[in-house]
Amino acid sequence: MINVAILGFGVVGSGAAQVLADNAAVIEKNLGKKVAVKRILDLREFPDSPFGHLVTHDFNDILNDKDITVVAEMMGGSHPAYDFTKACLTAGKHVVTSNKEVVARFGAELLDLAAKNGVRYLFEASVGGGIPVIRPMVNDLASNKIEKVDGILNGTTNYILTQMIAGATFEDALKEAQAKGYAEANPAADVEGLDAARKIVILAALSFGTLLSPDQIHCEGITKLTLADVEVAKAFGCSLKLIGHTEQVAGRVLAMVSPRMVPLTNPLSGIADVFNGILVDANMVGEVMFYGAGAGKLPTASAVVADIIDIVAHMGQDGVRAPKFTVAAEQDYADFGAYTCRSCFSFWQEDGAAEKITAVFGDVKTVTVGNRIALIADAMTEKEAAEKAAKTGLTLLSRIRVLG
Ligand code: HSE
């Protein structure tokens, strides 16, 4: 019997207990061992839960219990989640987590600490909810050099954008996402892009070995998008998505989050509702895409339990593959001003606007949607894009980057 402790009995934590109980037979069959929850740490009581009797309010009940070998941290937030993780790894307990905030901020240190203590720190559920993406990147793409990653990494914003395109208001769609357990405790982290920023820095670290700070990368959410932007995207044969992107620019790592127009020929364009998709471009295999439920209780919990199973399956074995991250120094960050991509510019429609656009952007296709005239320009740097928009002398209503 393998005894597991759960830190945080919220949406994902209670889901993990449910997955372990409901799928106990299949887990035992796949693993040849029973895995059960022994203790649960939470500030609250859960008198109506079948796991309520396992709840403790004292972390030491878990830390000092020698029978607990794997701890699943699903508390959310940096503290005390990070502190408890450190204590568990130092005490020789394996840790698995869904907590992208902790992995994005402290992943380098925690992976190092785990290695020093002969245990493992796994975080499959931290990116893409239930989608297997971390393990395939660490193991199955190990023969490849990763060129770039593009991903729809936040279920809440993808749900909101999908609902808005179907006619819902932003506020109603957000309320639904919260009711379904997709959104963060503070949904600003979803809609302002920070949740996706945390996830793209984790994917960047897996791709290039360097862990950037989510606070130091370019990050735009969906709050400024309007239905007019959606209409312009449609007119150009694109959908509108919040995309996390990472690549190397001149040997440095670039990671960013922003809305993008995604051409309908790109497989990310059709990903709707809470689903996420991660498109990895690697030098030998080419493009591979990982797709599935990006948030939600049982999908995310199933990824947490998959990490527990991985740990139990490899217990006592030497040389199990683990990623190693280096904390980024100032010079490891790519210059965002030099990042190059295509952009869709929407200007206020006025007499002579089409001529002014041609004078600056050349002979480009324009579309008129309501009070705006829009074009897609060839790839240019961020700096050039700002300069060209100003040079038209027109009122810029929005500039949305185009994927690919
Ligand atoms: N709030 C996150 C999302 C949860 O909507 O994607 C999963 O990380």
- Is 307 near ligand 1, meaning CB less than 6 Å away? no
Rounded Cα–Cα distance for residues 102 and 227 (Å): 35
Task: Choose the residue to mutate in 74, 182, 274 for probing ligand 1, maximizing ligand atoms within 8 Å of C-beta.
Answer: 182
- Is 295 near ligand 1, meaning CB less than 6 Å away? yes
> Looking at residue 319, what is its pLDDT?
87
Tell me the longest C-alpha to C-alpha distance in the chain. 77
- Is 154 near ligand 1, meaning CB less than 6 Å away? yes
Task: Choose the residue to mutate in 11, 175, 190 for probing ligand 1, maximizing ligand atoms within 8 Å of C-beta.
Answer: 190
Average pLDDT of the chain?
97
State the average pLDDT over residues 136-154.
Answer: 98
CB 263 within 8 A of CB 238: yes
- Residue 76's closest CA among 122, 33, 125, 27? 125
CATH of domain 336-402: 3.30.70.100
Asked if the model's pLDDT at residue 165 lies above 90, the reply is no
- Is 97 near ligand 1, meaning CB less than 6 Å away? no
pLDDT grade for 34, boundaries at 50, 70 and 90: very high
CA of 65 to the centre of ligand 1 (A): 32
Q: Among 3.40.50.300, 3.40.630.30, 2.60.40.10, 3.40.50.720, what is the CATH number of 2-130+297-325?
A: 3.40.50.720
Asked if the model's pLDDT at residue 242 lies above 90, the reply is yes
State the average pLDDT over residues 229-258.
Answer: 97
> Looking at residue 19, what is its pLDDT?
98
CATH of domain 144-293: 3.30.360.10
Rounded Cα–Cα distance for residues 378 and 385 (Å): 10
State the average pLDDT over residues 221-248.
Answer: 96
- Is 76 near ligand 1, meaning CB less than 6 Å away? no
**Treating both helix axes as pointing N-terminal to C-terminal, what angle do 24-31 and 297-313 enclose, rounded to 10 degrees?**
30
Query: What confidence tens digit (pLDDT) does each residue in 183-220 have?
Result: 999 999 999 999 999 999 999 999 999 999 999 999 99
3-class secondary structure per residue, 340-374:
EEEEEEEEECCCCHHHHHHHHHCCCCEEEECCEEE
CA of 73 to the centre of ligand 1 (A): 16
CA of 196 to the centre of ligand 1 (A): 8
CA of 168 to the centre of ligand 1 (A): 20
pLDDT grade for 330, boundaries at 50, 70 and 90: very high
User: Can you say whether the dihedral through the CA atoms of 313, 296, 298, 50 is positive or negative?
Assistant: positive
Residue type, 92: G
CA distances from 340 to 249, 281, 346, 404 (A): 10, 17, 19, 11
Rounded Cα–Cα distance for residues 273 and 243 (Å): 14
**The two structure tokens encoding residue 343:** 């952009």
CA of 79 to the centre of ligand 1 (A): 19
Query: What confidence tens digit (pLDDT) does each residue in 272-291 have?
Result: 999 999 999 999 999 999 99
Rounded Cα–Cα distance for residues 345 and 343 (Å): 6
3-class secondary structure per residue, the chain:
CEEEEEECCCHHHHHHHHHHHHCHHHHHHHHCCCEEEEEEECCCCCCCCCCHHHEECCCHHHHCCCCEEEEEECCCCCCCHHHHHHHHHHCCCEEEECCHHHHHHHHHHHHHHHHHCCCCEECHHHCCCCCCCHHHHHHHCCCCCEEEEEEECCHHHHHHHHHHHCCCCHHHHHHHHHHCCCCCCCCHHHHCCHHHHHHHHHHHHHHHCEECCHHHCEECCCCCCCHHHHHHHHHCCEEEEEEEEEEEECCEEEEEEEEEEEECCCHHHHCCCCEEEEEEEECCCEEEEEEEECCCHHHHHHHHHHHHHHHHHCCCCCCCCCCCCEECCHHHECCHHHCEEEEEEEEECCCCHHHHHHHHHCCCCEEEECCEEEEEEEEEEHHHHHHHHHHCCCCEEEEEEECC
Please work out, in degrees rounded to the nearest 5, the angle formed at the alpha carbon of residue 291 by the alpha carbons of 97 and 293.
Answer: 55
Residue 47: Cβ-neighbour burial (10 angstroms; 0-12, 13-18, 19+): exposed
Residue with tokens 């994902």: 12
Query: What confidence tens digit (pLDDT) does each residue in 61-120 have?
Result: 999 999 999 999 999 999 999 999 999 999 999 999 999 999 999 999 999 999 999 999
**The two structure tokens encoding residue 378:** 């060839």
Domain spans of the chain? 2-130+297-325, 144-293, 336-402
Task: Choose the residue to mutate in 184, 199, 202 for probing ligand 1, maximizing ligand atoms within 8 Å of C-beta.
Answer: 184
Rounded Cα–Cα distance for residues 99 and 45 (Å): 22
User: Can 144-293 and 336-402 be said to share one CATH topology?
Assistant: no
- Is 124 near ligand 1, meaning CB less than 6 Å away? no
Task: Choose the residue to mutate in 131, 133, 152, 156 for probing ligand 1, maximizing ligand atoms within 8 Å of C-beta.
Answer: 156
State the average pLDDT over residues 307-320.
Answer: 95
- Is 182 near ligand 1, meaning CB less than 6 Å away? yes
- Which residues have a catalytic role annotated? 199
Rounded Cα–Cα distance for residues 340 and 333 (Å): 15
- The residue ranking higher by pLDDT, 164 or 143, is 143
- Is 195 near ligand 1, meaning CB less than 6 Å away? yes
CA of 260 to the centre of ligand 1 (A): 19
State the average pLDDT over residues 379-384.
Answer: 96
Residue type, 40: I
pLDDT grade for 167, boundaries at 50, 70 and 90: confident
- pTM over 0.95, yes/no: yes
CA of 164 to the centre of ligand 1 (A): 18
